[in-house]
Structures are given as C-alpha cells and as structure tokens.
Amino acid sequence: MFEIIDRDASARLGEWTVGKHKIKTPTIAIVVNPNRQVIPPEVMKKMGVELIITNSYIINKKPETRKMFSKRGLHASLNWDGPIYTDSGTFQMFSQSLKDLPNKKIIQFQKKIKSDIITPVDVFTLPKDDLKIAKKKLTETIKRIKEAKSLVRNFNAPIQGGRHLALRKQACQKLAKVDPLIYSIGGIVPYMEQYRFTKLGEIILTCKGNLPPNYPVHAFGAGHPMVFAFLTALGCDVFDSAMYSLAAQRGAYLTVRGTLEAASLREFPCTCPACSCTTVSYFKSMSLYQKEKFLTLHNLYVTVGEIRTVRQAIR
C-alpha cells in the first residue's frame, strides 16, 4: 500500500507499506554488496536508512554465498531486520555482457531467500537502440513481468522502452493493471552518466503520466545525491545507491553539488560526523582501506541527508 501524505510539483511525500514495515518516501534503498559490507547495518539504521537493496545475481553466482543465503535467508545473512529489495542482475547482464539470465529461476531464488521486493529480469534497453530493437526488448520485459506476477505477489514492474517515448507510454499502459509493489523506470543510468537530463526528464514525465498514481515509482540506478531533488520533483519516490561505496573505492567525495576528488581537498566542505572528526592531513596519512571506509561513511551521510532535505522541502 502507498499513501500520499503531501505533495509539491510532482513530488510526493508518502508512506509505503512493505509487509509489516512502513517506509517514508521519497527514500533511498542503500545498495549492500553481499560479499563486502564496509558500513555495519546498525550504523545505517542510526542514520535513518529504512530500506536496503542487494543483488540476487551476485548472491546466486558464488556457491558458498548461495548456500548460506538459501539456508539463512536474506535478513539473517545481511543482519538487517527491515525490508530488503533484491535486484535481478539486469544491469550486470548489460554492463558485463552476460548471457541472458533465466527469469523464472532468478525470481524463484529471490523468493527462496525471502526477499521483500522481487525484481524480474527485464531486458536493459540502450539509448542507441532503434525502435525495432527497443520494441523487441520491451515485449520480452513485459512477458517476464507477467511471469513474475504468476509466481509471486511482492514483485517490481520495471519500465523499459529506451529513448522512445511512445514505447515508454505503451509499457506503462500495458503494465498499469499488473498490481506490483512498485514500478521502476529502468534503462536510465546512461542518461545520468552522460548528463542528458532533458531526455531523462522526458522519459520520467512520460512514465509518470501513464502509470497509476497510487504506486511508488523507483528511478533505477539513481544514486548520486545531486539528482534526488530533480528526480523527486518529476515524481520519483524511490532511489537506489551504490554510488556512496563505488565513489569511495575510487577516492571520490560526494556532495549535493557534484563529486570532488578527496586527494585534492585542503578542507572537508562538510560537517557530517565523519568529516567533523577528521582533518585532511590525517585523512592523507590513512591506509587505503581506512580512506575508503572514511569516504564511504561520508558519502552515505551526504546521501541520506539529502533525502531528508528533499522530504522536508515537500513538507
């Protein structure tokens, strides 16, 4: 269930019920790598994180990880008692040129490990895909979403269609009655990476204009805090972020105005608990692991802080 409490422009302040849990929206699903948790779950909870997301493909890929998660379930394995969203591996299939992943098998695995929100294997549509290719990918994606509906109740319905607005509209209209837990707008990461915000806005507005209003909408892959306000104003309710961690691994320091290279800083332009307790000179004396941990913590504070700022702005 999704209840809209307040709104401003197309932005919505809401309460999203997932199982026994109530989540304030807009919200950020913090990406947790099942093989590499740098920030403990209790720290994320103290920050106000209410939802995490992890990748079922990565879990299923390693026999030892697959065995542990199958036996213990997601929540015990990740030490998280809140709702957990699982991704299917669609982006890995695209970015790593993997062979097509078996939709039914991936859905059943997510169900087995007790995911709260299950994602089918949609077909990632590239900005360069022409109408014929994008239409073929969309047809297959809709087929897989309907298969998910026949297998589980707590599923996510990804919207594909690439740069073709007519296909995005068609996808939304065809999926308007499948009754998922959430709709997600997929295939938008390349537009954000290339700063093609006009096209990104057109895609989101097209989807929002053709989806039922009583469901949350997820901007899949939107994880940089600089885009949260913009995408919320267009009508997105949920974001997911591995950016806080990936940026830290390459020495990047996130701000709501963009990304800075930590090595080039003379002062930290932030007063979060991580930055308040550390000087730049001390940071530069740290080991690589300590630097990564510091940056991961700072980046997470900035990410969660911006979501709170956006919610307050709607109020």
237 is known as an active-site residue: no
Q: How far apart are CA 131 and CA 121, in angstroms?
A: 21
| 3-state DSSP helix/strand/coil % of the chain, to nearest 5 | 50, 20, 35
Element (H, E) at 219: strand 217-219
Q: Using CA atoms in the order 265, 263, 92, 110, what is the torsion angle rounded to 10 degrees?
A: -70
Say whether 240 sits in a helix, a strand or coil.
Answer: strand
Q: Which position among 87, 116, 237, 240 bears the catalytic label?
A: 87
Closest by CA to 120, choosing from 82, 98, 147, 96, is 147
Give the up-direction half-sphere exposure of residue 78: CA atoms within 13 A in the CB hemisphere.
Answer: 33
Q: How crowded is residue 194: how many other Cβ atoms within 10 Å of its Cβ? A: 11
190 is written with which tokens?
């390349």
What residues have CB less than 8 Å from 250, skipping those under 6 apart? none
Q: What is the largest CA-CA distance in the chain?
A: 57
Between helices 131-151 and 103-112, what is the axis angle to 10°?
40
Buried b (16+ CB within 10 A) or exposed e, 223-254: bbbbbbbbbbbbbbbbbbbbbbbebbeeebbb
Length of the chain in residues, anyone?
315
Catalytic residues: 87
